[in-house]
Amino acid sequence: MLLPILVRESLCCSKNSVLLISSNIQTCIRGLQGKGARGLHSYAQWFLCRRVPSRLNTQIRGAKSRKSQTKQEDEWRKKNKTVLTYITAAGVGMIGMSYAAVPLYRLYCQASGLGGTAVAGHDAEQVETMTPVMDRIIKITFNADTHASMQWNFRPQQSEIYVVPGETALAFYRAKNPTDKPVIGISTYNVVPFEAGQYFNKIQCFCFEEQRLNPKEEVDMPVFFYIDPEFDEDPRMARVDTITLSYTFFEAKEGQKLPLPGYSPISLHS
């Protein structure tokens, strides 16, 4: 049984080591003849321990290296998938936020008066119970603009009115469609000075709502508002005696983006 093993081993080795293995085989045979089975066992053990382990160790190390490399590749694939998932989620979130930014900012401005935006909504009980500050008279002036692409005629019905904090007031704007086709418009507004926007409360207005005018149609648009009595208690408003309410109409088109409140639109004409 020893000779077949040694022969197989010799075939697996390179040509340069054939002579050395043949010499080892002859040494083993002489040991067998001189010392019997025990001597053969010793020589066989010596030979196998000398020649075989080096190749086995090399094969084992190669198998471990391939297994380790495969494991690392699997880990990298998992990490790449995780990173890709996070990037995709972030991209979708950014797209969603870009669409929501303008309406959310507009709602915030309406609630806080930031950027000269009049505060939307009102407390009915406050309107009924607020006390006018009769010794603080404020002039309210009105301005009307249209975007360059808007073909309406748009103007305020009055140039100015005088109010006191805590007193409601009613004003009107007039819009006319001089064209031969229906036109849908939508308006934005702001208040100057910007700091006064948080005290300018509109009870009813036509802003941010689509208005459809048929050919040659003309309509009056009301604005019902009041100045919060706390206006008189704000030190920043001590020298403010004039507030301007300005509206700008745009033609409502698909994909049309309205400017953020509090910023003067470009390309306007009165």
Task: Give me the DSSP letters along 168-181.
Answer: EEEEEEEEE--SSS
Position 28 in a domain: no
- Claim to verify: residue 165 and residue 237 sit in the same structural domain: yes
Buried b (16+ CB within 10 A) or exposed e, 226-237: bbbbebbeeeeb
pLDDT given for residue 85 in this prediction: 80
pLDDT given for residue 170 in this prediction: 95
Position 32 in a domain: no
pLDDT given for residue 71 in this prediction: 73
pLDDT given for residue 230 in this prediction: 94
Question: Which backbone phi and psi does 54 adopt, to 5 degrees?
Answer: -60, -45
- Claim to verify: residue 103 and residue 177 sit in the same structural domain: no
Position 6 in a domain: no
What's the predicted TM-score (pTM) here?
0.53
Position 41 in a domain: no
In the chain, which stretches have pLDDT less than 70?
1-67, 91-124, 254-270
Query: Could you read off the pLDDT of 22-49 as tens digits, one per residue?
Result: 565 566 556 555 555 555 556 555 555 5
- Claim to verify: residue 98 and residue 145 sit in the same structural domain: no
- Claim to verify: residue 145 and residue 239 sit in the same structural domain: yes
Rounded to the nearest 5 degrees, what angle is found at the Cα of 136, between the Cα atoms of 133 and 137? 115
Domain tally, the chain: 2
- Claim to verify: residue 161 and residue 105 sit in the same structural domain: no
pLDDT given for residue 129 in this prediction: 86
Domain limits for position 143: 138-251
Position 208 in a domain: yes
pLDDT given for residue 38 in this prediction: 57
Position 244 in a domain: yes
Position 88 in a domain: yes
